[in-house]
Amino acid sequence: MAKKVYREPVTHEFPAVFDRESRVLLLGSIPSPKSREVGFYYGHPQNRFWKVLAAVLGEDVPATIPQKKAMLKKHHVALWDVLESCTIVGASDTSIEDAVPNRIGDLVKKSKVCRIFCTGATAHRLYQKYCAAEVGMDAVKLPSTSPANCAVSMERLVEAYRVILG
């Protein structure tokens, strides 16, 4: 018998990471169940985001949330998600419905962000649809670091993410 799949309402539960000196904004779609469980971005142990970012920035891979925040702020990188809320099946970005965007423009106005990158196709599509006009800036689509995107090697991810260095 097939397992019943449930669509659930999800609301973003933790704030953006940024300060007035942030120059680059990385946007995901919405936190996964594992990220919501640990209370921070890219919380699934198989997600390669933190390994990729550390490699691009020339840092050791941060282990704790304070270390992750410190690495982002040291390199003037802001981190948030496109969506404030939606309905979703598990961690499947392709199942997102009822999308309500975050106020990305407010973050940009409170910082020096001049370049925006989305960490996957769905985040990019949602940003372009709901946020780009208000923010006045298009975003660059980067490949997803999700374990579901295992076709893209670690080396290719690091190379693709180097674009954030400017």
Fold exhibited by the domain 8-165: Uracil-DNA Glycosylase, subunit E (3.40.470)
Each residue's pLDDT tens digit, 38-85: 999 999 999 999 999 999 999 999 999 999 999 999 999 999 999 999
Integer angstrom CA distances of residue 143 from 5, 41, 108, 140: 26, 16, 23, 10
Please tell me the predicted confidence (pLDDT) of residue 4: 65
User: What is the enclosing helix (H) or strand (E) of 100?
Assistant: strand 92-101
List the Cα angle 126/23/75 in 5-degree steps: 110
Residue 142: count of CB within 10 angstroms of its CB: 21
Identify the segments of the chain with pLDDT beneath 50: none
